[in-house]
A and B are shown apart, each in its own frame.
Chain A
Amino acid sequence: MALLQIAEPGESTAPHQHRLAVGIDLGTTNSLVATVRNSVPVVLNDEKGRALLPSVVRYLADGTTVVGHAAQAAQAQDPRNTVASVKRFMGRGLADVAHVESMSYVFEDAPGMVRLRTAQGAKSPVEVSADILRTLRVRAEASLGGELTGAVITVPAYFDDAQRQATKDAAKLAGLDVLRLLNEPTAAAIAYGLDNASEGIYAVYDLGGGTFDISILKLSRGVFEVLATSGDAALGGDDFDHRVYCWLIEASRIGPPGLEDMRTLYMEARRAKEVLSAQDAVHIGLKLSGGEEIDVTLTRDAFADMTKKLVDKTLVPTRKALRDAGLAPEDVKGVVMVGGATRMPHVQHAVGEFFGQEPLTNLDPDKVVAIGAAIQANVLAGNRAAGDDWLLLDVIPLSLGLETMGGLVEKVIPRNSTIPTARAQEFTTFRDGQTAMAIHVVQGERERVSDCRSLARFELRGIPPMVAGAARIRVSFQVDADGLLSVSARELGTGIESRIEVKPSYGLGDDEVARMLKDGFEHATEDMGARALAEQRVEAQRLGEATRAALAADGDLLDGAERAEIDAVLADLATAAGGEDVAAIKKALDALSRVTDEFAARRMNRSIQRALAGRSVESL
């Protein structure tokens, strides 16, 4: 059969064309982008040869937005409009953020997530993160010479649903197609494990700028299985800076500094911390805007003393993760160190002492996460090569549950459940004639709702009036491979179904994301219509190719009539994609999806059966 090929000038239609995919480490302090080029993972540098992009964004009154080194340099000069460490605010309300008093921003407490007031108006942390991601996307596209198929974005393993959703929204806003949200320690484990062909139990200790994760993994024959993860989503290198900052003010006997001095002192504190990883002492001498002089020396020992509590604080989740995995420190074969903050000698020492072995520091702790994400992105985009048959099995970090009577939490999915996962719980009415039920979804380990994070509230309506206890309401949780939750509920007792789907979205509604996306396109003076047509054509090409490949491989699963139907719709799609009518392409795409539903299900069954048959002869 003659199939029309749709090719834009300069666009290859080769079925095995390499798809451009990147891994992005969206860090508290620095962000990176990496890709797999000629089977080798590489970090992509900026035009000046720098790999790290400081996660700092400056909003100027004239509408210009500056991201990275230039913004970082302007921190002290323009502290209000220059946002650093925005990751700490992702998916967080004002009350959740620590050390607000020593931050130079003007906060606005918005429902769901805090906003920062800048010269360009109130900015959500999602928008600020999107500006960082956009800069990395542009860097990658310039470096790779084409539009990206998709990206894997890393998140701290201990990020909750709100923080994950916010990260995904930011990527969408930056024009990235998110292939997967990947946990940072897991990304590091992939990079490390594939590089060293490791087998056995490994711990990944990941102390970043603002977050701490500990993951325990079992590596066996190409399978990376996370056994348990724990952490602290508000503990990182920034807190060490804060300790030094407080010490500087105390030791120099100065009063509360103004905004500019505050930033200057923070930058000095960070510099001192970094110097102390290589030297025994550091001198800090500077003059503040009011004329006060600071002239002090900090020794490595004194620094270790003043931050000991922070290091000890990382060992609490470490013990918990081991306990959850049912293991002792001596069961761990290797400890991989990740994150710039693990360069501090007293951190390495404490971890070494806890596990009774030298931690592994042979991979650059700043780059290993981005490298792992790039390897995963390459495989997810469909560039799987021979030897790429490794498999990743990750978990959710925090239990998910529902509020029950008396403000207590009923856990539905326990922490460390392997994802994707789904569980359901049945509830009943407690009043006669009750026709609605409030459903409150929470995340956390504590017994009381008030001690957990509230994710979403919704109401199930239209329950037929019955005596108390007669209705059966089934609430189902589904966590996908990104670790994101969706909830549905229905009444089973009478056969009358009420159903609602909830995707918690934390202050940024889908319509708000859509509006921001639209604004972004308008700024870019792009023709929306032309873009929509181009997108639908790419989609038509993708789906057409995927279907033809499926027919070639498993066409025997269809009878003659079924096959003829699919062929006809494929031809329609090719015709539509050759035209200019966006709606017609969309209609053909929907039709193709509909007529191939059953085929897809049969193909999936076949691949499961083959997986099963692979071994059954030998061991049954």
Chain B
Amino acid sequence: MSEPAGTLPDADLFSRDHFALFGLPRRFAIDERALESRYHELQSAAHPDRHAHRPEQERRLSMQWATRINEGYRLLRAPLTRARYLLELSGVDVGAENNTAMPADFLMQQMEWREALDEARDARDPAALDSLARNLRAARREAEALLAHELDEAHDTAAAAATVRRMMFIARLGEDIAEAHETLEN
């Protein structure tokens, strides 16, 4: 025990990217069950509940680790954040704020959805909101399939960034639908 240990743990473990932390290949298509069970395994080791009776320094480390694992799980679990994260790792800024150029047909589609939302809101029609939400879900699934191709096979980051921007619009509209539901219920 007096010799320097041969297997010091990886000092960079904490700053590894999220895919590495979860032991998953850096791809858009992901094994969701594997991700979830990795998440549970990592938190089983790191979570503050596992270190509550331990010294203060260990509790602090535990909180930092658990925070990082939660953040990684959040980013990897949702397709939109996972795609953005992959692009970020490849040095591509999705540029949501300044790069709003979208294909004309998607702009048309956007306007139609927005109109449908306004109409459903004015008519106080929850069924119309639900139907719009279904359309959005279908569009989202389509975009996800496209992303899997663009990121994992074609490695076309520019195309993927454009798809991500479309998904961001769909996500925002989804939030507006949820809000409209809430307003109707209150």
Q: Which residues of A contact B (CB under 8 A)?
A: 19, 149, 179-180, 221, 223, 316, 319-320, 323, 376, 379-382, 389, 391-393, 417-422, 478, 480-481, 542-543, 546-547, 555-560, 563, 593, 596-597, 600-612, 614-616, 619-620
User: Which residue of chain B is the closest to A180 with respect to CB atoms?
Assistant: B52
Query: Quick check: is B58 within 8 A (CB to CB) of the other chain?
Result: yes
A604 & B65 in contact (Cβ 8 Å cutoff)? yes
A620 & B5 in contact (Cβ 8 Å cutoff)? no
Give CA–CA (A543, B53) in the complex, Å: 10
Give CA–CA (A19, B52) in the complex, Å: 13
Give CA–CA (A596, B55) in the complex, Å: 10
A391-B62 contact in complex given A597-B57, A602-B9, C-beta closer than 8 Å: no
User: Which residue of chain A is the closest to B13 with respect to CB atoms?
Assistant: A605
Interface readout for B14-37 with A: 1 if CB under 8 Å, 0 if not?
100000011101000001001001
- CB-defined contacts of B122 to chain A, threshold 8 Å: none
Judged by DSSP, the binding face of A is helix
Cross-interface CB contact of B49 among A481, A555, A560, cutoff 8 Å: A481
B182 & A421 in contact (Cβ 8 Å cutoff)? no
User: Which residue of chain A is the closest to B42 with respect to CB atoms?
Assistant: A611
Give CA–CA (A49, B1) in the complex, Å: 56
Give CA–CA (A546, B56) in the complex, Å: 11
Give CA–CA (A323, B126) in the complex, Å: 13
Cross-interface CB contact of A381 among B1, B53, B66, B178, cutoff 8 Å: B53
- CB-defined contacts of A616 to chain B, threshold 8 Å: 23
Query: Quick check: is B73 within 8 A (CB to CB) of the other chain?
Result: yes
**Chain B residues with a Cβ closer than 8 Å to the other chain, count:** 53
Q: Which residues of B contact A (CB under 8 A)?
A: 1-5, 7-11, 13-14, 21-23, 25, 31, 34, 37-38, 40-50, 52-58, 61-63, 65-67, 70-71, 73-74, 178, 181-182, 185-186
User: Which residue of chain A is the closest to B7 with respect to CB atoms?
Assistant: A556
- CB-defined contacts of A316 to chain B, threshold 8 Å: 185-186
B63 & A481 in contact (Cβ 8 Å cutoff)? yes
B54 & A611 in contact (Cβ 8 Å cutoff)? no
A477–chain B nearest beta-carbon distance, Å: 11
A601-B44 contact in complex given A418-B74, A557-B5, C-beta closer than 8 Å: no
Listed from nearest, the 5 A-B pairs whose CB atoms lie closest are A382-B53, A560-B2, A559-B4, A611-B45, A605-B9
- CB-defined contacts of B73 to chain A, threshold 8 Å: 418
B90–chain A nearest beta-carbon distance, Å: 22
Which of A180, A223, A593 has most B Cβ within 10 Å?
A223
B58 & A612 in contact (Cβ 8 Å cutoff)? no
B62–chain A nearest beta-carbon distance, Å: 7
Cross-interface CB contact of A420 among B34, B55, B58, B67, cutoff 8 Å: B67
User: Which residue of chain A is the closest to B11 with respect to CB atoms?
Assistant: A605
